[in-house]
């Protein structure tokens, strides 16, 4: 293959991928669809530029319009999250967490977090950013029925172990974390409290989950592309005085310096532009969207439960977020089920459940309703989606047969919603020539 043919082949793969997603049901809880306006900005000249520092205090020229956008991005982030300080430059949630660990700890310090089996993120663990920082990590006692931290035992642990940094927030995230008492205990022992809202930023901003900055968190980190339907990237948010990053010794300054020059050089200015549009759209449509996302998750969980699937969190009504977690150990396990579902047109991921020890052979599947909501699905559609899943995982129908029914169902959901060009094609890729 000539190099040019190889390059053309890339375009073909993207085209085929796009068509495949158009006839499938997207259920991965960490993904979303960016709006048409935001998507356009990702291909703009902003991509080709650099802008180190802050608007008006740059190391490069040529940033007149980029500064304008960055100021607006920050202003909208403050409005959306009802806070007084925001760093909008982080390029991913993991990078924001690495910056946060650098700002709040030294090697050898203790970080407490949720274990990965209970739903914690790898960046909070020994093999991720927290471990790379050289910190020791201890995980919280878990309440399996409530699917959250065990508050009394966590408070006791924080008082005894006196960590430097107390981290809340998960990747498997069904219910808000009761952080109030634990944050108070953390502050009593001099710890900083970080809430990693990567998965639930869109629900927090939509006022439908919890309000960490008012419940005791000192700051929030979180991705801008999971339930918040923006470009890949992240935010760090706090209630520090405006301009606090100029004051020596403040947490705001440590976070600011840990982002730049610490962990970000180019902050992906095309993403910055798309992020700004996504924040504006979320201010206009975020509450209605978050409402529907959670209604859909509850409806999906209920339908799966009624069709005989083991859904976690039953005692609390299954979910209060965008996620539904099911145990498919009895039906072939998470890795088998995820592959069979992909062949059937349902894009999901296998997931560890409390008690699991293998990330490669876990018992569960994690499902998310945020992208299905963006393409217009409502509660009544969740029964159809649940049936497709049951047909593959429990009834063991041929996935290829199920995928035909999935594609026919998906024809009704081709537009994107909760954005300025309501109803525009959800998945679109323009091939050259």
Binding site for ligand PLP (CB under 6 A): 30, 92-94, 97, 121, 123, 169-171, 196, 198-199, 223, 234
CB of 173 to ligand PLP, least distance (A): 7
| Structural contact between residues 364 and 336, judged by C-beta atoms closer than 8 angstroms | no
Token pair of 149 as six digits? 């931290």
CA distances for 229 relative to 8, 135, 210, 370, angstroms: 29, 32, 18, 9
Residue number with CB closer to ligand PLP (193 or 198)? 198
Nearest distance from C-beta of residue 105 to ligand PLP, angstroms: 17
Give the nearest residue (CB) to ligand PLP.
Answer: 93
Residue whose CB is less far from ligand PLP, 155 or 234:
234
Q: Report the nearest approach of ligand PLP to the CB of residue 171 (Å).
A: 3
Which residues, at least 6 apart from 207, have a Cβ–Cβ distance to it below 8 Å? 287, 290
In the complex, the smallest distance separating the C-beta of residue 374 from ligand PLP, rounded to whole angstroms, is: 18
Measured from the CB of residue 294, what is the shortest distance to ligand PLP in angstroms? 17
List the one residue out of 77, 35, 46, 32 whose CA is nearest residue 267.
46
Nearest distance from residue 257's CB to ligand PLP, in Å?
A: 20
Provide the pairing of β-strand 192-196 with 219-223: parallel
Q: Which is nearer to ligand PLP, 172 or 309 (CB)?
A: 172
């Amino acid at each position: 293959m000539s190099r040019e043919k190889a390059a053309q082949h890339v375009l073909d793969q993207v085209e085929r991928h796009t068509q495949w997603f158009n006839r499938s049901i997207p259920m991965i809880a960490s993904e979303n669809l960016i709006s048409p306006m935001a998507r356009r900005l990702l291909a703009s000249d902003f991509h080709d530029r650099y802008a180190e520092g802050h608007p008006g205090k740059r190391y490069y020229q040529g940033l007149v319009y980029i500064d304008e956008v960055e100021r607006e991005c920050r202003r909208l982030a403050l409005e959306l999250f009802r806070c007084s300080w925001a760093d909008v430059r982080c390029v991913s949630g993991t990078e924001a967490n690495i910056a946060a660990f650098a700002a709040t700890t030294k090697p050898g310090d203790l970080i407490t977090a949720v274990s990965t089996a209970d739903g914690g993120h790898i960046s909070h663990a020994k093999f991720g950013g927290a471990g790379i920082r050289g910190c020791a990590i201890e995980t919280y006692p878990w309440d399996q029925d409530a699917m959250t931290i065990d508050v009394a035992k966590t408070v006791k642990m924080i008082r005894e172990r006196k960590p430097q940094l107390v981290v809340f927030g998960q990747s498997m995230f069904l219910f808000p974390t009761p952080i109030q008492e634990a944050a108070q205990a953390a502050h009593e022992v001099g710890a900083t409290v970080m809430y990693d809202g990567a998965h639930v930023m869109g629900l927090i901003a939509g006022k439908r989950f919890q309000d960490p900055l008012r419940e005791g968190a000192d700051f929030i980190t979180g991705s801008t592309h999971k339930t918040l339907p923006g470009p890949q990237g992240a935010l760090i948010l706090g209630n520090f005085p405006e301009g606090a990053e100029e004051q020596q010794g403040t947490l705001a300054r440590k976070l600011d310096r840990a982002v730049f020059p610490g962990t970000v050089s180019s902050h992906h200015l095309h993403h910055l532009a798309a992020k700004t549009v996504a924040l504006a759209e979320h201010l206009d449509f975020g509450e209605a969207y978050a409402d529907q996302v959670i209604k859909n998750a509850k409806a999906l969980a209920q339908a799966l439960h009624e069709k005989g699937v083991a859904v976690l969190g039953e005692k609390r009504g299954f979910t209060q977020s965008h996620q539904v977690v099911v145990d498919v150990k009895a039906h072939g396990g998470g890795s088998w089920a995820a592959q069979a579902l992909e062949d059937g047109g349902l894009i999901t991921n296998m997931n560890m459940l409390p008690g699991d020890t293998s990330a490669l052979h876990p018992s569960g599947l994690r499902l998310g309703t945020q992208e299905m909501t963006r393409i217009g699905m409502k509660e009544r559609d969740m029964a159809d989606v649940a049936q497709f899943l049951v047909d593959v995982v429990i009834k063991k129908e041929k996935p290829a047969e199920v995928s035909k029914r999935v594609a026919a169902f998906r024809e009704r959901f081709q537009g994107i919603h909760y954005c300025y060009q309501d109803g525009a094609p959800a998945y679109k890729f323009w091939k050259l020539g």
